[in-house]
Amino acid sequence: MKRKIKLVDVTLRDGSHAVGHSFTREQVARIAGALDRSGVEIIEVTHGDGLGGSSVNYGFSAVNDMELIEAAAGVIRKAKLGALLLPGIGTIRDLEEAYERGVRVLRVATHVTEADVAIQHIQAAKGKGMFAVGFLMMIHMAQPEKILEQARIFVDAGADYINLADSAGYLTPDGVRERVAVLTEHLSIPVGFHAHNNMGLAVANSIAAIEEGADYIDGSLRGLGAGAGNTQIEVLQAVIRRYGWESGADLDRLLEAAEKEVAPVMKRPQVIDADSLMLGYSGVYSSFLLHAKRASQQFGVAAKDILLELGKRKMVGGQEDMIVDVAYELSKGR
Amino acid sequence: MTKIDVAIIGPGNIGSDLMYKVMRSSCLNMKLMTGIVESEGIKRAAKMGIETSTDGIDAVLDRDDIRIVFDATGAKAHLAHAPLLRKAGKIAIDMTPAAVGPYVVPCVNLDSLSQEMNFNMVTCGGQATVPIAYAVNQAADSSYTEIVSCISSKSAGPGTRANIDEFTETTAKALETVAGADRGKAVIILNPAEPPLMMTNTIYSIVKNPDPERINRAVQKIVEEVQKYVPGYKLRTPPILDGNKVTVIVEVEGAGDFLPKYSGNLDIINAAAVWVAQKLAVERLMKEKGPGVISAEAGEGRRG
Among the partner residues B156, B187, B193, nearest to A57 by beta-carbon distance: B187
Give the residue numbers of A marked as catalytic: 17
Strand order of the β-sheet with B66-71 is: B51-53, B28-34, B4-9, B66-71, B91-94, B118-120
List, run by run, the mean pLDDT of 10-residue segments along chain A (334 residues): 92 98 98 98 98 98 98 98 98 98 98 98 98 98 98 98 98 98 98 98 98 98 98 98 96 98 96 96 95 96 96 95 96 82
The residue among A322, A323, A329 with the most chain B CBs within 10 A of its CB, best to mutate, is A322
Topology of the domain covering A6-264: TIM Barrel (3.20.20)
Whether the CB of B164 is below 8 Å from some CB of chain A: the reply is: yes
CB B92 within 8 A of CB B67: no
CB proximity B23 to A under 8 Å: no
Assign B290 a pLDDT band (cuts: 50, 70, 90). Answer: low
Q: Residue B296 has what pLDDT?
A: 45
Overall fold of domain A287-332: Helicase, Ruva Protein; domain 3 (1.10.8)
Contact B164 A322 (CB under 8 A): no
Give residue B121's pLDDT band: very low, low, confident or very high (50, 70, 90).
very high
CB contact under 8 A, A56 and B146: yes
**Residue among B279, B255, B275, B274 at smallest CA distance from B265:** B255
On whether the B124-252 domain is CATH 3.10.105.10, my answer is no
Chain A residues with beta carbon closer than 8 angstroms to that of B146: 55-57
Indicate which of B187, B199, B200, B245 best probes the interface with A, i.e. most A CBs within 10 Å of its own CB: B187
Whole-number pLDDT of residue A214: 98
Domain B4-121+264-299 in CATH 3.40.50.1820: no
CB A281 within 8 A of CB A40: no
Segment A185-234, tens digit of pLDDT: 999 999 999 999 999 999 999 999 999 999 999 999 999 999 999 999 99
CB pairs under 8 A between A and B: 96
Task: Please report how the helices B13-23 and B264-280 are oriented relative to each other, as an axis angle in degrees rounded to 10.
Answer: 50
Q: Say yes or no to pLDDT of B159 above 90.
A: no
CB contact under 8 A, A324 and B190: no
B237 in contact with chain A, both atoms CB, cutoff 8 A: yes
Interface test with B, best of A97, A321, A322 (most B CBs within 10 A): A321
For strands B184-191 and A216-219, give the pairing. unpaired
Q: ipTM score of the complex? A: 0.95
Active site residues of B: 124
Q: Which residue of B has its CA nearest to A119?
A: B162
What is the per-residue pLDDT for B299? 41
Percent of chain B at pLDDT exceeding 70? 94
Cβ–Cβ < 8 Å for B147, B124? no
Nearest CA in chain B to A121: B165
Of all residues in chain A, the percent with pLDDT exceeding 90 is 99
Cβ <8 Å between B168 and A114: no
The tens digit of pLDDT for each residue in B45-76 reads 999 999 999 999 999 998 999 999 999 999 89
Domain boundaries, chain B: 4-121+264-299, 124-252
- For residue B221, give the amino acid letter: K
d(CA B72, CA B62): 19
Rounded to the nearest angstrom, the minimum Cα separation between B244 and chain A is: 12
Per domain, the residue ranges of chain A are: 6-264, 287-332
Task: Write the CB contacts of A34 (distance below 8 Å, at least 6 apart in sequence).
Answer: A253, A256, A257, A260, A261
Distance CA B222, CA A257 (A): 54
Q: Please provide the distance, in angstroms rounded to a whole number, between the alpha carbons at the two ends of chain B.
A: 23
Mean pLDDT of B219-229: 98
